[in-house]
């Protein structure tokens, strides 16, 4: 599923002319909010109202092709693992103008009690709603 579209603006690039690491992470992070909404119907407003949200606990990023200023980017995502308290997602950043994969991020996030500051189990409703999005081909 397409989760993000953006551009590598000059201000996102470093003195060597390519997009800096901090901006890859920001784009992947933005994509993650869209995935959480698509899969779970979760929004940041719910974090404030219900005191429940998500916390990233693991990131593995692989940079595969340089992103320069002006490159058009698109991030797709696939839910690859659905645990009791966590999800693992593979995000892929595509450089659509060049037709290449710029980077991938494998991210594990836990469902989180924002008041107790600890991981909590997902509800049965959350798990059953997420199962159709589970991409078992990635495992």
> How does pLDDT run across 28-87, given as a tens digit for each residue?
999 999 999 999 999 989 888 999 999 999 999 999 999 999 999 999 999 999 999 999
Instruction: Kindly give, in sequence order, each residue whose CB lies less than 8 Å from that of residue 2, ignoring residues fewer than 6 positions away.
Output: 74, 75, 76
> How does pLDDT run across 92-124, given as a tens digit for each residue?
999 999 999 999 999 999 999 999 999 999 999
Residue 52 near residue 46, CB atoms below 8 Å: yes
d(CA 65, CA 98): 10
How many other C-beta atoms can be found within 10 angstroms of the C-beta atom of residue 65?
14
Instruction: Average the pLDDT over 11-29 and give the result.
Output: 96
- Which CATH number fits the domain that encloses residue 96? 3.10.129.10
Give how many domains the chain has, as a whole number. Answer: 1
- How far, CA to CA in Å, does 55 sit from each of 43, 91, 107? 14, 16, 10
Domain that holds residue 26: 2-138
């Amino acid at each position: 599923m397409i989760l993000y579209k953006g551009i590598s603006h000059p201000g996102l690039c470093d003195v060597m002319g390519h997009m800096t690491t901090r901006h890859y992470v920001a784009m992947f992070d933005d994509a993650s909010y869209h995935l959480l909404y698509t899969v779970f119907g979760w929004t940041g407003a719910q974090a404030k109202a219900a005191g429940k949200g998500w916390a990233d606990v693991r990131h593995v990023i692989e940079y595969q092709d340089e992103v320069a200023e002006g490159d058009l980017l698109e991030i797709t995502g696939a839910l690859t693992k659905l645990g009791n308290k966590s999800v693992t997602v593979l995000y892929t950043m595509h450089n659509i103008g060049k037709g290449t994969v710029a980077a991938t991020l494998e991210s594990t996030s836990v469902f989180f009690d924002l008041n107790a500051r600890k991981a909590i189990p997902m509800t049965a409703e959350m798990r059953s709603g997420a199962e159709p999005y589970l991409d078992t081909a990635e495992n």
